Amino acid sequence: MLQGSLHPDFAAVAVSLARIIPRRGPGGAAVCVYHRGEKVVDIWGGTRDAAGNPWEADTLSLSFSTTKGAASTLLHVFADRGHIDYDARVADYWPEFAQNGKDAITVRHLLCHEAGLYAIADVVEHASEMLDWEQMVRRLAAAKPRHPAGAAHGYHALTYGWLVGELVRRVAGLKPISELFATELAAPLGLDGLYCGVPADQQRRCAQLFGRQFSGPIEKRRANTERMIARAQRWRRRLSAEGVRRASAQQNRGGGRVIPLSMGWRLGYHRAFALGARAPTGFGHYGFGGSGAFADPARQLSVALTVNSGVGTPLGDLRIARIGGVAMRCADRRAQELLPARAFA
């Protein structure tokens, strides 16, 4: 049983969502779609925990690497204001970063995964060390890149958050990244549930995670170290049209050193992968466990999916690609139906 609101033109999205919600065992999901500035889909279903409690309108779900897209947008907000230059050296904002041959790495190199800092084993010995922001920042500043800046690209899966996050902090007066998410993105956009570190009084809303990639449900007590994302309540602009154009322009091609297929890296986003539809100008970010979000400027379309049960990596989980493809086809049909009326007018 799905709950929420749905425009009839996008009914197929609801069908697609119903198919990915587990029929046996725990698991739920939520989808939000905007088309031409209108929220046309805001639906959810399934369960949020092992006790079988239903997914609700305000349920939060861990988004993993989908948060890279949100972090990149945060950086673009400051670039749009003139505080960050994409072609400036990272060390111009973060002087300690110049260590070990990194003085030539630019902001652009970081955003399109060309900095050569993708090997997490070069930075930490144990995953628990990643819970200390200051320690991670010091180690990344001292790290030696695997290749010269711009010589190749490789997905910075487990280092990107600190690299981009600390860069933003340096130009924002060293404010905590959780505060910057709240003041620069969530509050201005009217987002209910976008957190980088969930406050204690909101952890009651967090969904547990289930699936073969997890040893069991991740308890709510851990949610304060994890990133959650929910849905927008109203449509607002945070970047200029020129800022969006710069951020979404493709930067490199071909397979990378970490992911062998072409991701079509933009500045902090990858191309919009979809089944049964193409979006040459689309950009976004998908995450481990099945979540994902993207925008398709040509269609004036944006799509986001959150889940709490899944089968694996973004490359092995096609749920956001399926739902995204369905949403694109719905938008195309809607546009075709409007053509005669426009022609007559």
The confidence score (pLDDT) of residue 310 equals 79
Average pLDDT on 13-38 reads 95
Per-residue pLDDT for 284 more than 50?
yes
Which tens digits make up the pLDDT trace of 202-234?
999 999 999 755 444 444 333 333 444 555 555
Question: Between β-strands 283-286 and 292-296, what pairing exists: parallel, antiparallel or unpaired?
Answer: antiparallel
- What one-character-per-residue DSSP string does 146-167 give? SS-TTS-----TTTHHHHHHHH
- What one-character-per-residue DSSP string does 291-329 give? -EEEEETTTTEEEEEEESEE-S-TTT--HHHHHHHHHHH
The whole-angstrom separation of Cα 140 and Cα 132 is: 12
The confidence score (pLDDT) of residue 184 equals 98
What percentage of the chain exceeds 70 in pLDDT? Answer: 90
The confidence score (pLDDT) of residue 317 equals 85
The confidence score (pLDDT) of residue 218 equals 41
The confidence score (pLDDT) of residue 236 equals 84
The whole-angstrom separation of Cα 106 and Cα 88 is: 5
The whole-angstrom separation of Cα 22 and Cα 33 is: 21
For residue 71 the two structure tokens come to 């972090």
Closest CA to 289 of 213, 341, 342, 234: 213
CA atoms within 13 A on the CB side of 204: 2
Q: Which domains does the chain have, with CATH numbers?
A: 2-67+177-344 (3.40.710.10), 84-171 (no CATH)
Active site residues: 65
Average pLDDT on 34-48 reads 97
Which 8-state DSSP code applies to residue 275?
S
Please report which confidence band the pLDDT of residue 344 belongs to, taking 50, 70 and 90 as the band edges: very low
Segment among 27-36, 45-54, 309-318 with least mean pLDDT? 309-318
The confidence score (pLDDT) of residue 212 equals 53
With residue 284 as reference, give the H or E element that holds it: strand 283-286
Average pLDDT on 167-185 reads 97
Q: How far is CA 327 from the centre of its chain?
A: 18
The confidence score (pLDDT) of residue 13 equals 98
The whole-angstrom separation of Cα 126 and Cα 108 is: 29
Average pLDDT on 285-297 reads 94
- Greater model confidence, 288 or 177: 177
Which tens digits make up the pLDDT trace of 81-102?
999 999 999 999 999 999 999 9
Closest CA to 158 of 185, 107, 195, 122: 122
CA atoms within 13 A on the CB side of 131: 8
CA angle 8-14-16, nearest 5°?
A: 130
Closest CA to 143 of 124, 127, 167: 124
Average pLDDT on 37-63 reads 96
Question: Between β-strands 195-196 and 292-296, what pairing exists: parallel, antiparallel or unpaired?
Answer: unpaired
Average pLDDT on 261-278 reads 97
The confidence score (pLDDT) of residue 345 equals 46
- Greater model confidence, 337 or 303: 303
Kindly list the distances between the CA atom of residue 9 and the CA atoms of 57, 88, 321, 333, in Å, as whole numbers in the listed order: 22, 45, 19, 8
| Cβ count near 249 (within 10 Å) | 12
The whole-angstrom separation of Cα 304 and Cα 338 is: 25
Residues 6+ apart with CB under 8 A from 164: 68, 71, 72, 74, 75, 110, 111, 268
- What one-character-per-residue DSSP string does 198-267 give? --GGGGGGBPPPEETTSSSPPPGGGGGGSEEE-EESS----S-HHHHHHHHS----SB-SSSSSB----S
Per-residue pLDDT for 237 more than 60?
yes
Average predicted confidence (pLDDT) for the chain: 91
Kindly list the distances between the CA atom of residue 110 and the CA atoms of 25, 37, 72, 106, 157, in Å, as whole numbers in the listed order: 40, 31, 10, 7, 12
